[in-house]
Every structure is written in C-alpha cells, then in structure tokens.
C-alpha cells in the first residue's frame, strides 16, 4: 500500500487552509482491475469487457490553490487526469484552478486500468472538494471523452462498453478470488493496440455472447469454477488478438494444481491463475503454484478481489 507524500509536492500545496485555518482539500480513491474476466465483441458489433476489480489503488487529493496558477497535476505526466479535471470543473461551472496530487501503486501500461483509476480517483477528489453529485454512469461517460475506460468507477462486476461508457449488464459482487500472477514484461498502449485488432466474425461474436451469459449466471450463483472456465476461454480466444507467451504453461499449472482458471489482461502484459479465496486448500495450492512459476524462472505476484 502507498501513502500520499507528507511533504508538499509543489509550493502551492503547502498547508492549504480555509478561513478557519483548517486544511481544506478533497480526496478520492479508485481500485484497479486485473485485466478482464471476459472481453470481446457481441453479435450487434458492440465491444465489451467484464471487470475484475482488485485491491490495488490510486489515491488523489484536490486543493483549490491560487487562481492565477490554473490547473496543475502532480506528478506532471498525469495529463489525462488533468484533462478530466478540466472537463469536470467546466461541466459544473466551477473555478478552473487547483492542484491534483495523485499517488498510485498500480503499474502503468500493463492492462491493470491504471489510467482509468487515475481519472476516477481525480474525479472523486474534485467531487469531494466541491460536494457535487455525479453518478457512476455519468462519470463513465465523461471518462470516455478522454479515452476508453475500464469501468473502475463501479465497485462491483459489470459488463461494459468501454468506448462509450455504457453498462451492458450489472453482474454484481464477485466471490472472493485470489490471483497468482506474472507480468510478461514490456508495455501496451491500449488505444494503439485497439487500432491494430482484426475483425471478429459472426461465429466468434456468438461465442462471446454465450460466454457472457454463462458468466452472468456464474457470478449470480457464486460459482467460482464456472467463472474460471469462462476466463480461460476468454484468454484462449484472445491469443489471436494479443498472444501471451505463457498461456499454455499457465493453463497446465492451473489444471495440475486445482486452480479455477486462467485470467489475462486482454490488452496488457499480465496473466494469472484464479483461486477461490475461501478454498480450505488455498495455502497449499498457492504455495505449489508459486513454486512451479519460480522453477520456470517467473516472478509470481498476488492480487485479491
């Protein structure tokens, strides 16, 4: 877990106070996702993804600052969060000045929704500062004006059209899942990657629709095994779009050591094995899987829903 730096990042942040002498700022937070449970195209041509929220976070603070300084963001490379701040303040006719301070423990360009989490945390900090009301659906549509979004504004599992910010289906809360993961290295520009994707035929689109229906039922029934079956099928289908060099290895390890299924960042670099967090054999399975990954020269990481 990370902490917002206690020392001011830029001079304007030093001891921001209101007329009472108390510190005055808004704060917000967002989780990330471990790739997607399922991602593809539906028969009507609609792109979609199904979220897998996990416990890694971005935190943000928003200070009003000095009017002549305009809008600023720390660190300065978080330009998308700055663009979102400008759009949100403009939408509500609020002053176009202040400072966003963002802290994150989410690796960037890895398929973990780091950018979307930045935007959601930033928006929530501004909303908290000004005490305005905005629904998650409205926030999703606003984020899509900046870039396609991973729907991390929703705390539960949703099927989501990432390009327009539309919720296709609300699947509800996921069972507790544990993920033993590996980052294959490198980085992926999600927007650039999407432009290179080949088309999907009607048979494949029907398959994605069938998998989505199975996943909806599985989440409702708390059926962890079925969730794992769907995520593995989605990972296999994604090999045509963005191959993961460790997929066969992970499928074999998952089958040999009682995992639920394999899950991937469909436009990222992470791959993982799902485990039921309430499995009485969780510790044994985790140790066995981590040992096999290490023996293959891979570095296991853990995530938790």
Domain boundaries, given as residue ranges, for the chain: 11-304
Spatial separation of the C-alpha atoms in residues 235 and 273, rounded to whole Å: 11
pLDDT of 20: 39
Averaged confidence pLDDT in the chain: 89
Whether the Cβ atoms of residue 98 and residue 70 lie closer than 8 Å to each other: no
pTM assigned to the model = 0.87
**Looking at residues 43-62, what average pLDDT do you find?**
95
Q: Which is more confidently placed, 130 or 23?
A: 130
Fold of 11-304: Ribosomal Protein S5; domain 2 (3.30.230)
Strands 177-183 and 98-104, bridge-based pairing:
unpaired
pLDDT of 3: 35
Question: Which pair of structure tokens corresponds to residue 285?
Answer: 């399975």
pLDDT > 90? residue 186: no
Spatial separation of the C-alpha atoms in residues 106 and 117, rounded to whole Å: 9
Lowest-confidence pick of 93-107, 189-203, 231-245 = 189-203
Q: How many CA atoms lie within 13 A of 205 on its CB side?
A: 12
């Amino acid at each position: 877990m990370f902490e917002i730096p206690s020392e001011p990042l830029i001079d304007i942040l030093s001891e921001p106070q209101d007329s009472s002498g108390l510190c005055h700022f808004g704060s917000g937070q967002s989780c990330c996702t471990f790739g997607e449970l399922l991602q593809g195209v539906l028969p009507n041509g609609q792109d979609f993804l199904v979220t897998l929220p996990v416990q890694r976070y971005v935190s943000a603070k928003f200070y009003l600052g000095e009017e002549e300084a305009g809008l600023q963001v720390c660190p300065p490379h978080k330009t998308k969060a700055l663009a979102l701040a400008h759009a949100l303040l403009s939408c509500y006719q609020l002053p176009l000045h202040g400072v966003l301070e963002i802290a994150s423990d989410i690796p960037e360009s890895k398929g973990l929704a780091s950018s979307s989490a930045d935007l959601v945390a930033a928006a929530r900090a501004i909303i908290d500062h000004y005490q305005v009301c905005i629904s998650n659906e409205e926030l999703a549509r606003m984020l899509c004006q900046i870039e396609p979004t991973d729907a991390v504004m929703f705390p539960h599992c949703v099927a989501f059209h990432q390009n327009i910010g539309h919720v296709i289906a609300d699947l509800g809360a996921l069972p507790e899942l544990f993920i033993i993961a590996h980052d294959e290295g490198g980085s992926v520009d999600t927007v650039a990657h999407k432009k290179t994707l080949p088309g999907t035929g009607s048979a494949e689109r029907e398959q994605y629709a069938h998998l989505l229906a199975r996943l909806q039922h599985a989440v409702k029934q708390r059926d962890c095994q079925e969730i794992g079956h769907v995520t593995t099928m989605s990972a296999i289908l994604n090999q045509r779009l963005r191959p993961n060099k460790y997929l066969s290895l992970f499928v074999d390890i998952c089958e040999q050591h009682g995992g639920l299924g394999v899950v991937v960042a469909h436009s990222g670099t992470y791959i993982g094995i799902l485990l039921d967090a309430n499995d009485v054999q969780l510790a044994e399975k985790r140790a066995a899987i981590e040992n096999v990954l290490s023996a293959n020269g891979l570095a296991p990481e853990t995530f938790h829903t």
